[in-house]
């Protein structure tokens, strides 16, 4: 396994869980949050390095994971754009509306808007279909959960597939960024099922059956 330098922007449930899983898998992780204190708290709990701000987190990173609410992705990308040359951006967000009753999408997939705002920077949709509670427990009934990913840059997708596999997921290439719409809808379905039925937020997707 190749050790990666990963920046995680956001220290909420997803960011902190992904930080712990990535550090446990041997990667080097820097994490930033809305405050340096929050970043330090999560870093201390997960073994990551705390950054004072987003620019500091991404400075030495190869892969930058956006683990923030979907509604702030646009502004975040605008601020980060000058620092992202030569890096891969992973969009782990879901574009939920304010009431969590639907997706708020302007294009076919929200990640397409993100890619449009970052010309020349490869963006890959990944981790958005995986609940925070499963990032550290990627196996169910002896089978790895599926880590779907989508993007338009083949080399960037190879790196993200390696990252998913290193965390214990079965990587599955869903296609180009157009297919991220399906991944965002899959995430919304899982969220709705858990919220509507009072489930434990531990369900995950697994693609089963032969592929040849």
> 4: which strand partners?
none
Longest CA pairwise span in the chain (Å): 50
Tens digits of per-residue pLDDT, 25-49?
999 999 999 999 999 999 999 999 9
Between CA 20 and CA 68 the distance in angstroms is 16
149, 174 Cβ separation under 8 angstroms: yes
Give the pLDDT of residue 104.
80
Q: What is the pTM of this model?
A: 0.95
Tens digits of per-residue pLDDT, 183-198?
999 999 999 999 999 9
Tens digits of per-residue pLDDT, 137-166?
999 999 999 999 999 999 999 999 999 999
Residues contacting 59, CB < 8 A, separation 6+: 83
Q: Across 155-196, where does the E strand assignment appear?
A: 170-173
167, 48 Cβ separation under 8 angstroms: no
How far is CA 29 from each of CA 42, 148, 151, 171, rounded to the nearest angstrom? 11, 22, 23, 21
Between CA 203 and CA 208 the distance in angstroms is 15
Radius of gyration of the chain from its Cα atoms, rounded to whole angstroms? 16
Question: Running DSSP on this structure, what letter comes out for residue 145?
Answer: P
């Amino acid at each position: 396994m190749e050790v990666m330098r990963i920046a995680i922007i956001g220290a909420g449930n997803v960011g902190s869980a992904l930080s712990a899983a990535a550090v446990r898998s041997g990667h080097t992780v820097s994490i930033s949050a809305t405050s340096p204190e929050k970043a330090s708290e999560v870093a201390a709990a997960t073994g990551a390095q705390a950054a004072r701000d987003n620019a500091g987190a991404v400075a030495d990173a190869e892969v930058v994971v956006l683990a923030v609410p979907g509604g702030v992705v646009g502004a975040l990308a605008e601020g980060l754009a000058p620092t992202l040359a030569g890096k891969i951006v992973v969009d782990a967000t879901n574009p939920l509306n304010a009431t969590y009753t639907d997706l708020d999408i302007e294009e076919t997939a929200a990640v397409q808007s993100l890619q449009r705002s970052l010309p020349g920077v490869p963006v890959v949709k990944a981790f958005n279909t995986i609940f925070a509670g499963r990032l550290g427990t990627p196996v169910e009934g002896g089978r790895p959960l599926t880590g779907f990913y989508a993007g338009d840059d083949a080399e960037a997708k190879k790196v993200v597939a390696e990252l998913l596999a290193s965390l214990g997921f079965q990587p599955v290439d869903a296609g180009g960024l157009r297919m991220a719409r399906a991944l965002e809808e899959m995430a919304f379905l899982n969220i709705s099922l858990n919220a509507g039925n009072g489930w434990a937020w531990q369900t995950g997707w697994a693609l089963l059956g032969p592929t040849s």
